[in-house]
Amino acid sequence: MKFAFFVFFVVTVANIYTASSWRLRFPPGIAISAAVFGLFFFLWALQIVAPVLTHFYHLSDSGLDTPFFRGLAYLSYVVLGICGAMFVITAAFDVLWFLARTSSGFQIGKAAGYVTLAGILITTALAGGMALYHGGRLELVRVTMPVRHLPAAFDGVTIAQISDVHLGPFLGRDFSQTIVDMVIAAKPDMIVITGDLADDTAAALKDAIEPFKALHAPLGIYFVMGNHEYFRDPRGWIETLRAMGIRVLQEEHVVLERDGQKLVVAGVVDPVVARWGFRVPDPFQTLAGAPEDSGKILLSHQPVLARMAQRAGFDAQLSGHTHAGQFFPFTLLIHFFQTYTSGLYDVDGLSLYVNRGAGFWGPPMRTKKGEVTLITLKAS
């Protein structure tokens, strides 16, 4: 709820700022003021619709799951994303304008207001259009991951990582099918799903998740919970995925063997469980009873656990959660909130890979396409 009020507050302030900045670019007059502020009031109201429809009245259990409301929520999220980017771009142009005005000897004519407005609109259209195009699109990212203590028998093993699919009102069966087709074509030895698979109940997404039944890999399929599974239907998702032959790792590990050599794959719950008073994830605990002479890989939805995982003795960690910020301006802001945002990191000897996610959350926009990852383990 706190987050909802925070979003409401930020959206309101951002729209008031953008409207005021735009207003100053036009000549005085009540009619122009009414037109600019009226436009932004309409856009503000439209932006509030989607969070209300999808977070307070989940479409699937409110009886509002009709093409009209789905379409309205989608449009609302698009406007939310574009207005968010437009606010930051407007503010950036305002700073440049202010600096130009205050710097000595630089005269700005009346036309500057219109020129900068055109600049704001073109920049927003380019950034927003590209982000909209990339939302819901996927690419296969190939990564070679050095892993210390990796037994020779597992050198070259491939892992397909799927993360942050966010099945829900806008990403359904077709998106699942595309992901599954990409994974099967890559012929991985192992498949891992690192959380935030879904934004709704397992019952509501029964059809959307069905293509995942076709996944298969000789070393198994493993899943760890993300924060979003806990928000809606943790039990339902654990049961559904188990019934599909996917091993759900909750503060536990499995030992894989090849030619007498061992690779431990462990999984933690998401730190969000602390909200309901449950025990927070503990990489040390997941290794209880694990063989010493093994390579050790941790699946953790959130990359923030990497330091603890390194201390616990893990050699590698696969994570998601960040979406790499998803779209501008969050692609920049994410660096203030997350140490590890996307890609491969060396955390004092632990190899960490942060997947930027397949789907999207909120606005259907991504600065870069979603990813499905094929990781090749390499002894180092």
Q: Please, which residue, 264 or 309, has the CB nearer to Fe ion?
A: 309
Q: How far is the CB of 323 from Fe ion (least distance, A)?
A: 8
Q: Please, which residue, 181 or 251, has the CB nearer to Fe ion?
A: 251
Integer angstrom CA distances of residue 352 from 87, 140, 146, 319: 34, 18, 10, 8
Q: Would you tell me how many other CB atoms lie within 10 Å of the CB of residue 246? A: 21
Binding site for Fe ion (CB under 5 A): 196, 226-227, 321
DSSP per-residue string spanning 310-371? HHHT-SEEEE--SGGGSSTTHHHHHHHH-S--SEEEEETTEEEEE---SS-SSSS--SS-EE
Q: Please, which residue, 196 or 200, has the CB nearer to Fe ion?
A: 196
Written as six digits, the tokens of 261 are 């050599």
Q: How far is the CB of 228 from Fe ion (least distance, A)?
A: 6
- How remote is the C-alpha of 279 from its chain's centroid? 24
Q: Please, which residue, 55 or 378, has the CB nearer to Fe ion?
A: 55
Q: How far is the CB of 91 from Fe ion (least distance, A)?
A: 28
Beta strands of the chain (E only): which ranges? 138-147, 158-162, 190-193, 221-223, 247-248, 252-258, 261-267, 294-299, 316-319, 343-347, 350-354, 370-379
Q: Please, which residue, 296 or 366, has the CB nearer to Fe ion?
A: 366
Q: How far is the CB of 151 from Fe ion (least distance, A)?
A: 31
Nearest residue to 271 via CA among 331, 222, 202, 319: 319
Q: How far is the CB of 262 from Fe ion (least distance, A)?
A: 30
Q: Please, which residue, 226 or 234, has the CB nearer to Fe ion?
A: 226
| Residues 169 and 198: beta-carbon distance below 8 Å | no
| Cβ-proximal residues to 284 (8 Å cutoff; 6+ apart), any chain | 308, 311, 312
Q: How far is the CB of 195 from Fe ion (least distance, A)?
A: 6
Q: How far is the CB of 51 from Fe ion (least distance, A)?
A: 17
| Cβ-proximal residues to 60 (8 Å cutoff; 6+ apart), any chain | 169, 200, 201, 204
Q: Please, which residue, 194 or 351, has the CB nearer to Fe ion?
A: 194
Residues linked to residue 146 through DSSP beta bridges, in sequence order: 378
Q: How far is the CB of 320 from Fe ion (least distance, A)?
A: 7
* Peptide bond between residue 364 and the one before it cis (omega within 30 degrees of 0): no
Q: Please, which residue, 89 or 272, has the CB nearer to Fe ion?
A: 272
Q: How far apart are CA 304 and CA 281, in angstroms?
A: 11
Q: Which residue's C-beta sits nearest to Fe ion? A: 321
